[in-house]
Amino acid sequence: MTLFRHGGVRPGGTRRLPAVIAAGVVAIAAVLVAPLVPLFAPGPAAADTPWLNVSDDGYLSISIPAASVEAKVGPVSEVAVEGNFGPSSAWAEFGLTRRGDAWWGALGPLKPGLYYYQVTGDITKGLKDPTNATTVASKPLWSTFLVPGDSARLLADAPEGQGGKVGTLTYRVGKEERSALVWTPPGYPAKGGKPLPVLYLLSGPDRSATDWLDLGRARQILDNLSAGGSIEPMVVVITDGRGPDDDKDLKDLRKAVGDAYRVHDDREHQAIAGVSEGGSQALRAALTGPGQFAYAGSFSGLLTEIAGGRPGPGPNPGAKLLRLYTGNVTDPAYNATVRLTKALDRARVRYEFDGVNPDAGANWTAWQENLIDFLPRLFRKAPDHGPSAGHGRLKGEFHPPAPGTTPTPYVTKDGFVTFETTTDLKDAKHVTVWANDAPGGSWLRVPMSREGDRWRATIGPLDPWFYYYQWIVDGVSVKDTSNPAKVTSEPNWSTFLIPGERSRLLSDVPAGRGGKIESLTYPSTVANQDRTALVWTPPGYDAGRAEPYPVLYLQHGSGQSYTDWVEMGRAKQILDHEFLDGKLVPMVVVMGNGNVPDFGKELLDNIVPAARARYNISSDPSQQALAGLSMGGVQTLGVLKAYPGRFAYIAAFSAWFGSGDGVDAEAINKGTRMLRLYVGDVTDFVQPFFMASLPTLDGLGIRYEFDGVTPGPHGWDVWQKNLIDLAPRLFRR
């Protein structure tokens, strides 16, 4: 699906990468794949070519002409697309990569729903996407797009002729003229007809009434629910809300609505709801103004107490529905809702709670769902009174540790993560957390908020997995010095693990039950220096065993080194678990340094002899395997082509075969028991190269295995999964 017109391209996968990988991209492009570079290069684009496109399976592709950006905001060194792409639909920055004359990126898969975004250069230079005709009245730089799907069907435009109408109502409060938006249902007569009930929908003083249309999709929701007969015919009045004490505005608005529309004026046919402070205002109007509203909804409302401790002359007299909604702990209303429910219980006020939305915070993604749940309950008997499916209970207030009291990040058992800087960054202007927390493991920068002399951010829920991150401080990469985790090849990265069944193979095994990691120093005749490899030996490794152990030589990518498979790839944890699970043939794994101009010579003349001299490993090709990621995968396939039969098991992660010139396919097939290939999804920039290699392999008649793409980008989320799949397959044929 093309966002704004047909003919868009599917995501090409080029994207802003962590420096550890970006360096590899440069090195690979310069040294290994110069002939393939045109696959990356965007062709000349028409002025109205969409900057953003979405594929049918939800992948976002971005290509922004550099000249268009510079024409609007001047020269820039960095371009990002900012939008609600983060965990819980939080606002986040997705950095792009300069490729030729365009800024490129790919992200996804995105869940069905409405997304809003703007383009930003050098942190502060924002601009509107001119190729997207959608607008957000309150945010002139924003554009929107809808990712379709069953869960977002009510957000799509209703069939032609089946929707209601939206008009503007002008009214006066004292000497000030104000306006509200009014939705009337299909068939609503301009004159005559029976009166209809009315819902007052508040945006809150910090938002515009138009946000309910531009971001909340209120018109589409009302149209679709109305067309399906899921709601009673009603008039919906959408207003900004002027603050918690402006009762006169609401009174004057109700009078103006009664004068302009055929609506009931009794309490039984009046409802009110709102978001954030608008939700608080709705609750106050329902609880402290008897006789006004029989139905009230608070979407992320911030009210925590009832005035005077009671709602008026009695516990909620005459109210038919008081329903509360909140997002997860990233929603400021979460703690407020905990306190409010206790206050309502003390005052014996009847209310319903929709439950904690686990997947959204205080944003329009949550409020769209709230409106969809709330509307069918109005002016009719509701089918149920419990929480929405999948919503949880309140578990008490959420409070991260006090600033400075614990190493960061602070991780809850539900997968919410609180990051905190040291006071060294107190003078910074703009701080973000750059982490692999986007769909599939891509990298997003989530803004942090200043709290005293520190910066903080709570994000989540994150799925159980292994994460890595760094601060971006006023455009500069900075290490979280409170986190003792280190990445030798990229000192600014820190890591943490979200525990759970999904990440079990990445977690530490019980002490004393796993294998050992040892350093192996060897002289390199290629690099003319002593170099180091890391070696994993399985539990119970026996140096004197009569039968030598099979061996896997496992290579890193460009910009990385021999430490990365342990520090970032979690190779030890993966191998330990799979051994203890009985899935692994006992083997030795050697992780050498592949940063040399002639990897084949380094491997065969230096790494392999040094490993054999120290460890009880086989020299039989049938008991040797070679695998690598990215550059290491290209090196692996290069060894396969140059030395067919030296390693019976070959695997390449996010790499490509390249030219078939001079390749002895018969020797490869004869000497190779398994050639297994892996690649990430369309957010993996290597995928076009990889796919272009398959016809070459097929044409040569080389046998290989490829199970399809591994979900995720050109990063460790993919390569960890690849090792998990590969290791149990080795030395079994």
Instruction: Convert the pLDDT of each residue in 6-19 to its tens digit.
Output: 222 222 332 233 33
- Of 499, 517, 535, the residue at which a domain comes to its end is 499
Tell whether 493 and 517 lie within a shared domain. no
State how many domains the chain has: 4
CA neighbor of 366 nearest in space, from 215, 232, 527: 215
Query: What residues contact 416, with CB distance under 8 A and at least 6 apart?
Result: 328, 329, 330, 398, 458, 459, 460, 461, 462
Residue 117: which domain range?
A: 19-148
2 located within any domain: no
Q: Is the pLDDT of residue 314 over 80?
A: no
* Alpha-carbon span 376 to 214, nearest angstrom: 22
Tell whether 338 and 450 lie within a shared domain. no
HEC string of 53-122 equals EECCCCCEEEEEEHHHHHHHHCCCCCEEEEECCCHHHCCEEEECEEECCEEEEEECCCCCEEEEEEEEEC
In the numeric block, the tokens 């101009």 are attached to 597
Q: Which residues pair with 64 in a beta bridge?
A: 103
Q: What is the pLDDT of residue 27?
A: 36
Q: Is the pLDDT of residue 646 over 60?
A: yes
What pLDDT digit, counting tens, does each position of 495-507 carry? 999 999 999 999 9
Tell whether 517 and 486 lie within a shared domain. no
- The count of other CB atoms within 10 Å of the CB of residue 266 is 10
389 located within any domain: no
Q: What is the pLDDT of residue 288?
A: 77
Contact 8, 53 (CB under 8 A): yes
Tell whether 595 and 719 lie within a shared domain. yes
Query: For residue 682, what is the domain's CATH number?
Result: 3.40.50.1820
390 located within any domain: no
Contact 295, 270 (CB under 8 A): yes
What pLDDT digit, counting tens, does each position of 38-59 carry? 223 344 455 579 999 999 999 9
Q: What is the pLDDT of residue 729?
A: 98
140 φ, ψ (degrees, to nearest 5)? -60, -20
Q: What is the pLDDT of residue 733?
A: 73
What mean pLDDT value characterizes the chain?
90
Tell whether 199 and 75 lie within a shared domain. no
The burial class, CB within 10 Å (0-12 / 13-18 / 19+), for 544 is exposed
429 located within any domain: yes
What pLDDT digit, counting tens, does each position of 156-171 carry? 999 988 999 999 999 9
What pLDDT digit, counting tens, does each position of 446-481 carry? 999 999 999 999 999 999 999 999 999 999 999 999
Tell whether 347 and 226 lie within a shared domain. yes
- Of 148, 173, 196, the residue at which a domain comes to its end is 148
Tell whether 325 and 433 lie within a shared domain. no
Find the mean pLDDT for residues 663-671: 98
Full-model pTM: 0.90
Tell whether 220 and 296 lie within a shared domain. yes
**Residue percentage of the chain with pLDDT more than 70:** 90
Tell whether 158 and 144 lie within a shared domain. no
Tell whether 548 and 450 lie within a shared domain. no
Tell whether 566 and 675 lie within a shared domain. yes
The least confident of 39-48, 110-119, 371-380, 700-709 is: 39-48
Find the mean pLDDT for residues 191-212: 89
Q: Please report the beta strands in 357-491, taking only residues with DSSP state E, as ranges in sequence order.
A: 410-411, 417-420, 431-435, 444-447, 449-451, 454-459, 466-473, 476-478
What pLDDT digit, counting tens, does each position of 389-439 carry? 999 999 999 999 998 887 889 999 999 999 999 999 999 999 999 999 998
569-602: string of b/e by CB count within 10 Å (b at 16+)?
Answer: bbbbbbbbbbbbeeebbbbbbbbbbbbbeebbeb
| Pairing state between β 588-591 and 529-537 | antiparallel
**Top-confidence residue, 174 or 96:** 96
Q: Is the pLDDT of residue 30 over 70?
A: no
6 located within any domain: no
431 located within any domain: yes
12 located within any domain: no
Q: Is the pLDDT of residue 310 over 60?
A: no
205 located within any domain: yes
Q: How far is the CA of 227 from the CAs of 113, 194, 232, in angstroms?
A: 20, 19, 11
Query: For residue 489, what is the domain's CATH number?
Result: 2.60.40.10
| pLDDT classification of 289: cutoffs 50, 70, 90 | low
CA neighbor of 482 nearest in space, from 409, 426, 411: 409
* Alpha-carbon span 659 to 32, nearest angstrom: 11
Tell whether 349 and 255 lie within a shared domain. yes
Find the mean pLDDT for residues 90-101: 96
What pLDDT digit, counting tens, does each position of 669-722 carry? 999 999 999 999 999 999 999 999 999 999 999 999 998 999 999 999 999 999
Q: What is the pLDDT of residue 250?
A: 87
Contact 297, 374 (CB under 8 A): yes
Query: What residues contact 270, with CB distance under 8 A and at least 6 apart?
Result: 197, 198, 200, 254, 264, 292, 293, 294, 295
The SS3 call for residue 149 is coil
- Of 449, 464, 499, the residue at which a domain comes to its end is 499
